Amino acid sequence: MKSIKVRTPAKINLTLEVLNKRDDGFHNIQSIMQTINLYDYLTFNIDNAEEIKIELKGNSDEIPYNESNLIYKAAERFFKKANIDNVKLSVYIEKNIPISAGLAGGSTNAAGTIFALNKLFNNILSEDEINELCASLGSDLNFCLYGGCALCTSRGEVIEKIPFFEQSVSLIKPKHLGISAKEAYINFSKLTDKSNPDNTSKLKDLLLKGKFDKSLIYNSLENALFPYYDELKNIKNNVKNSLMSGSGSTFFVLNSKLETSLNKDNYDIFENLKTINTGVEQTDE
């Protein structure tokens, strides 16, 4: 049996500007994504077998442990791409990143799966093949694989690394509220005003100069979701300098203590986090 353990980081969107809808049903975006030191941990064990078998287990009762899990899908596609048909894969998932929260929890796990399996099989796939595999599974996998700070375009899978800026991060998420990216983008399509301030380009230019201005953080999807979720509006109105990450429902605050009059019994709060310059990594933790 061979084993490997990886840690897969959450991400926040310092900017997320939704552009036009594509012919494939997705939207083109421009976003500056940033990984943070909130991790899931995945342990992979492989044994010989007569056919492919994939077993998932974990510590969360909020995720599926079957073929609908992105880890399962990533493993299936990896084995097909690498022409492997005779192994049993067991994965234990230590889930710490909230699900359906705009933090790329599922995507970072899938990227971690491709990373780990390629390590276990002696780098059988090239970097280009890994990137293609990641892009085929979702919009955030390519970024999660490499992490740090990056400009992400197309539907999010085209990444351009830009200078990393270390910052403290706090997160606040309504308990028991998850929002799918599909729902967020459908609601965005209903907006009359879909204009953007082009803060992505402005912030990128600053980062290239080694500077940062948190007044430029921006998310097009906030206004698409506020009419449907009072919990999100309450965070925006009661947590100073907060911004929704991705398609929600998590908000983040940079470089300041999270102060709010909200009833904290109704929210999950993560403090003392920070931005990091890494993506998926092998670990002994």
Q: Which domain holds residue 46?
A: 1-285
CA-based R_g, the chain, Å:
19
Q: Express each pLDDT in 169-205 by its tens digit.
A: 999 999 999 999 999 999 999 999 999 999 999 999 9
Q: Express each pLDDT in 11-54 by its tens digit.
A: 999 999 999 888 888 899 999 999 999 999 999 999 999 999 99
- Report the number of distinct structural domains present in the chain: 1
Cite the beta strand spans of the chain per DSSP E: 2-21, 27-48, 53-58, 87-94, 149-153, 158-161, 168-174, 218-219, 243-244, 251-254, 267-274, 281-282
Half-sphere exposure of 231 (CA within 13 A, CB side): 18
Selected catalytic residue, list 11, 73, 173, 204:
11
* DSSP type of residue 191: -
State residue 257's pLDDT score: 83
Selected catalytic residue, list 5, 40, 73, 140:
140
State residue 285's pLDDT score: 84
Confidence of residue 260 (pLDDT cuts 50, 70, 90): confident
d(CA 79, CA 172): 38
Give the domain CATH number at 149. 3.30.230.10
With H, G, I as helix, E, B as strand and everything else as coil, classify residue 85: coil
- Is residue 236 annotated as part of the catalytic site, yes or no? no
d(CA 180, CA 101): 8
State residue 258's pLDDT score: 84
